[in-house]
Amino acid sequence: MTTALAAAGLLVMVTLITVDVIARRFFNRPLLITDEVAGYLMVFITFLAMGYTLKEGGHVQIGVLFNRIPLRVRNWLMVSYCILGLAIIIWLAFKSYQLTVKDYTIGAVSSTWLAAPLYLPRMFMFIGLSLFALQFIVEFGRRVSSLRA
């Protein structure tokens, strides 16, 4: 589901940029919202895709060294990685939640003519980080069960 949403966000972003390029090139009338909206969509895409990337093992790793470690030690390292990663992501999610609520409460908007409410992109940060934390919990459970085997 999140990958479909991230893909849809990417499609909207690419379409918006393409329309902007055409409007600028052929009509000398660029869209004034392209940079801002593309930036918000980049936040949307990035944060929604983090959990899926963890699930698929797509985050940066040093496989050359890691693959030489015995499997049991590797699993213990992955359990430690999950605990540390989960702690960091929960803290980041909490901070993004606080920022989202603050922006919503004070009615913060961007300083551009679009005056977009800033709680929206920050809300996607919170949602994406929360889903990332859930995926860390799943990964932790998977690694702990592999230690028992």
What integer best gives the mean pLDDT of the chain? 90
Contacts 24+ apart (CB under 8 A), 28-32: 32/113, 32/114
The pLDDT assigned to 38 comes to 94
Q: Which domain holds residue 62?
A: 2-148
Largest CA distance in the chain: 65
Report how many domains make up the chain: 1
> How confident is residue 39, by pLDDT bands cut at 50, 70 and 90?
very high
Question: What value does the mean pLDDT take over residues 120-139?
Answer: 94
The pLDDT assigned to 143 comes to 86
| Cα–Cα dist 22/28, whole Å | 9
pTM of the model: 0.85
The pLDDT assigned to 149 comes to 65
Percent of the chain past pLDDT 70, that is, above it, reads: 98
Cα 30 to Cα 37, 72, 112, 132, 148: the distances in Å are 14, 57, 15, 36, 60
Question: What value does the mean pLDDT take over residues 22-27?
Answer: 94
| Cα–Cα dist 26/55, whole Å | 44
The pLDDT assigned to 26 comes to 93
The pLDDT assigned to 88 comes to 97
